[in-house]
Amino acid sequence: MPVTKLLPHIPHLTRTVNNERALLQQSVYLQAQITSADQEIEEALLRLSGESHLLPAGSKDVSAWGKTAADAETATKAFVEEHLQASRQEVGSVCTIVELCSLQSKVLDSV
Q: In the predicted model, is pLDDT for residue 74 greater than 90?
A: yes
Q: Domain count for the chain, please give it.
A: 2
Based on the domain organization, do 49 and 67 belong to the same domain? no
- Categorize the per-residue pLDDT at 111 as very low, low, confident or very high, splitting at 50, 70 and 90: confident
Based on the domain organization, do 47 and 36 belong to the same domain? yes
Based on the domain organization, do 23 and 38 belong to the same domain? yes
Q: In the predicted model, is pLDDT for residue 97 greater than 70?
A: yes
Q: Mind listing the pLDDT tens digit for each residue in 10-68?
A: 999 999 999 999 999 999 999 999 999 999 988 888 888 777 777 777 777 778 778 88
Based on the domain organization, do 33 and 54 belong to the same domain? yes
Contact (CB, 8 A) for 84 and 104: no
Based on the domain organization, do 45 and 82 belong to the same domain? no
Range(s) of the domain holding residue 47: 1-60
Based on the domain organization, do 47 and 99 belong to the same domain? no
Please spell the DSSP secondary structure of 17-84, one letter per residue.
Answer: HHHHHHHHHHHHHHHHHHHHHHHHHHHHHHHHHHH-SSS-TT---HHHHHHHHHHHHHHHHHHHHHHH
Q: In the predicted model, is pLDDT for residue 1 greater than 70?
A: no
Region 75-100: mean pLDDT is 95
Based on the domain organization, do 68 and 46 belong to the same domain? no
Based on the domain organization, do 67 and 55 belong to the same domain? no
Q: What is the pTM of this model?
A: 0.50
CB atoms within 10 A of CB 108: 8
CB atoms within 10 A of CB 85: 10
**What's the pLDDT at 79?**
96
Based on the domain organization, do 19 and 49 belong to the same domain? yes
